[in-house]
Chain A
């Protein structure tokens, strides 16, 4: 087990720059998710860490030692592939044994038929058999050891792939979208199991996914990648509640965060849809900005409010209700999270007014960077203005 340090990695494929200087430190035993939309470079980064792809510039250190120029087989990392990449001609047990056979046996001992008779081969094979059984029991696939991958379900194959990764003790586990081929129910179950496995092994995990729910539920930290950069790397709650960039706020959270246009008035006060808010910027910036409001930050109000519109659509999830509201002056609908008791008041076409707490408002500047340190004005000042 070891920590990892990624320093300023860049990668181009021909003209396209896929990674534009990515740095990331991962502590020993940490579970870090690389999450982002497809094409953001997360899989490429993982493959560079693994050594299957070579970076153009930058360095990777595993356990404090640079692995520059060291091939994948020598980096002591385990990887679980999206397609599981099981050897179809080998049984489950043999599949799990491959990494051990390759590392513990000499070339001649691995030969079919005669290999078993060479001195020492028996002892090594016995040790491998014990380790395979242990790994299989940990993943509850002990009864499948004699089957071929072709006879297994998707979930079972996934476990075999995990088994092959954890049968030896690598410096870190790399997982490349391992759940994306599973059905929704199995995905939720396996998610919990992988998180448990991580706690049990206390090993370093690097997990690539495009599914923000997976990242949120399993990780110690999430690295949100967009356009070849890591925009923010922080614990899940921080990424959700305190995003640094508007892209991060938009990517994390389901349903998506509401983004409303803001104007910065000459006195620094923020104005939403021609209503001055009790918020002001402290630096001298002017012009336009954006206001991010999570669906749960909005609430129904009877009083005066800048956000007024009609209910256009509602989704009842049983425990909660997501209501899309068409607001005059906005192109996109605003999503509100409501409780089931409010369902009656939110029939289609009902006019509603929405209010929010300025503490929950996330303000981003014109470039999409988060504006922090806003000045909260009290209600009295707002009356005057």
Chain B
């Protein structure tokens, strides 16, 4: 609003004020549909879940009691939930760096190729496009302890030099190879492996897109400035240029890692793997909220989940604005 000068006649001042009010009303009318939708679809469910997390509500019950923070207390005291946090943390801490690193590595390799680029891109991207549930079934067959491809292949190494240099092989040949999906020592790592296998192709594509924005002349400048090794050029040019991509890739991968569910549901429909070693948050929400109809506890885990994801998103926003846009 421009400042109204004192010499202006009163009528004109009124007209200006009236016009501004009209404009304000129009603005509200125009944003109303979007605002309504946002409240109904996004905000209201979150608020409701937040409220429900302080109750003992079950679907079908006519009423509920407020239980205060008891649901949250459970989350932080019971051993089951300790396992939940451990499994989720293990998965996130393993899958995020490995799939980001692999994604970057393959993107750099593919980018350096002259020919066959498209073929490699397609190959690595295939697992991303596949339905994870169907892939989980395929993996279940492959990981079968006696007839699965994985253990069969390992058995071929028995009697060779591998037995001498690799204790795992020696143990497997002497006794038997692991029951991958039934052993609590291996189950979470199998899930991590499948998560990486399925996810890094997506990161690769994002990095490939990021690499196209690296100015070629910068590499020449780096060479003229005396950066002789590929590592120096990567540190001086490629890595900084990929900063915004990396922040995005890490955030997206983190959120996806927190969301892991399909494989666990496909492998162990009845409860989070051997000795609950793969009892991740998403599965816990599903089990408590849907299977056992404990909406209160399910909502509490959901709120916690939301807090994690929100925290990650905020870090990303901060990083993008402060660190990697170089302004």
* Cβ–Cβ contact B223 & A73, under 8 A: yes
Residues of chain A with a CB closer than 8 A to B327's CB: 148, 150-151
A73-B223, A98-B225 given; A85·B326 CB < 8 A: no
- CB < 8 Å: which of B220, B226, B241 contacts A88? B241
A81-B221, A151-B327 given; A87·B227 CB < 8 A: no
Residues of chain B with a CB closer than 8 A to A150's CB: 326-327
A65 proximal to B (CB < 8 A): no
* Cβ–Cβ contact A87 & B237, under 8 A: yes
A344 proximal to B (CB < 8 A): no
The A343-369 residues at the B interface (CB cut-off 8 A) are: none
* Cβ–Cβ contact A85 & B226, under 8 A: no
The B134-171 residues at the A interface (CB cut-off 8 A) are: none
Give Cα A98–Cα B224 distance, bound, in whole angstroms.
Answer: 10
Give Cα A344–Cα B243 distance, bound, in whole angstroms.
Answer: 65
A73-B224, A87-B240 given; A148·B326 CB < 8 A: yes
A85-B215, A85-B217 given; A72·B240 CB < 8 A: no
The A51-90 residues at the B interface (CB cut-off 8 A) are: 51-52, 71-74, 77-79, 81-83, 85-90
B314 proximal to A (CB < 8 A): no
Q: Which residue of A lies closest to B325 (CB)?
A: A150
Residues of chain A with a CB closer than 8 A to B324's CB: 89
* Cβ–Cβ contact A103 & B224, under 8 A: no
B232 proximal to A (CB < 8 A): yes
Give Cα A135–Cα B198 distance, bound, in whole angstroms.
Answer: 52
Q: Which residue of A lies closest to B324 (CB)?
A: A89
Give Cα A164–Cα B236 distance, bound, in whole angstroms.
Answer: 15
Give Cα A130–Cα B228 distance, bound, in whole angstroms.
Answer: 24
Residues of chain A with a CB closer than 8 A to B226's CB: 73, 99, 102-103
A50 proximal to B (CB < 8 A): yes
The B299-327 residues at the A interface (CB cut-off 8 A) are: 324, 326-327
* Cβ–Cβ contact B220 & A85, under 8 A: yes
Residues of chain A with a CB closer than 8 A to B215's CB: 83, 85
* Cβ–Cβ contact A52 & B236, under 8 A: no
Residues of chain B with a CB closer than 8 A to A164's CB: 225
Interface residues as binary, A292-327 with B (CB distance below 8 Å gives 1, 0 otherwise): 000000000000000000000000000000000000
Give Cα A102–Cα B221 distance, bound, in whole angstroms.
Answer: 12
Interface residues as binary, A23-56 with B (CB distance below 8 Å gives 1, 0 otherwise): 0000000000000000000000001001110000
* Cβ–Cβ contact A87 & B224, under 8 A: no
Residues of chain B with a CB closer than 8 A to A103's CB: 226
* Cβ–Cβ contact A89 & B326, under 8 A: yes
Give Cα A98–Cα B222 distance, bound, in whole angstroms.
Answer: 9
* Cβ–Cβ contact A72 & B224, under 8 A: yes
Residues of chain B with a CB closer than 8 A to A82's CB: 217
* Cβ–Cβ contact A71 & B243, under 8 A: no
Residues of chain A with a CB closer than 8 A to B237's CB: 87
Give Cα A78–Cα B220 distance, bound, in whole angstroms.
Answer: 11
Residues of chain B with a CB closer than 8 A to A149's CB: 326
* Cβ–Cβ contact A81 & B217, under 8 A: yes
- CB < 8 Å: which of A50, A78, A102, A151 contacts B227? A102
* Cβ–Cβ contact A88 & B240, under 8 A: yes
* Cβ–Cβ contact A89 & B225, under 8 A: no
Q: In the assembled complex, how far is the CB of residue A174 from the closest CB belonging to chain B, in whole angstroms?
A: 8
B26 proximal to A (CB < 8 A): no
Q: In the assembled complex, how far is the CB of residue A51 from the closest CB belonging to chain B, in whole angstroms?
A: 8
B47 proximal to A (CB < 8 A): no
B218 proximal to A (CB < 8 A): yes
- CB < 8 Å: which of A78, A88, A89 contacts B224? A78
Q: Which residue of B lies closest to A78 (CB)?
A: B224
Interface residues as binary, B200-233 with A (CB distance below 8 Å gives 1, 0 otherwise): 0000000000000001011011111111100010
Residues of chain B with a CB closer than 8 A to A71's CB: 223, 228
* Cβ–Cβ contact B326 & A77, under 8 A: no
* Cβ–Cβ contact A50 & B224, under 8 A: yes
The winner among B224, B232, B240 for most chain A CB atoms within 10 A is B224
Give Cα A101–Cα B243 distance, bound, in whole angstroms.
Answer: 22
- CB < 8 Å: which of B222, B224, B228, B243 contacts A77? B224
The winner among B226, B243, B324 for most chain A CB atoms within 10 A is B226
Residues of chain B with a CB closer than 8 A to A87's CB: 218, 221, 236-237, 240
Q: In the assembled complex, how far is the CB of residue A165 from the closest CB belonging to chain B, in whole angstroms?
A: 8
Give Cα A50–Cα B220 distance, bound, in whole angstroms.
Answer: 10
Residues of chain B with a CB closer than 8 A to A86's CB: 221
30 A–B contacts from the bound complex (CB under 8 Å): A50-B220, A52-B223, A52-B224, A72-B220, A72-B224, A73-B223, A73-B224, A73-B225, A73-B226, A74-B228, A78-B224, A79-B220, A81-B221, A82-B217, A83-B215, A85-B221, A87-B218, A87-B237, A88-B240, A88-B326, A89-B243, A98-B236, A99-B224, A102-B227, A103-B226, A148-B326, A148-B327, A149-B326, A150-B326, A164-B225
Q: Which 5 A-B pairs have the closest CB atoms?
A: A102-B226, A85-B221, A89-B240, A99-B225, A85-B217
Given contacts A72-B220, A150-B326, 18 further A-B contacts (CB under 8 A): A47-B220, A50-B224, A73-B223, A73-B224, A73-B227, A74-B228, A78-B224, A81-B221, A83-B215, A83-B217, A85-B220, A87-B218, A87-B236, A90-B240, A98-B225, A102-B225, A149-B326, A150-B327
State the B residues within 8 Å of A (CB): 215, 217-218, 220-228, 232, 236-237, 240-241, 243, 324, 326-327
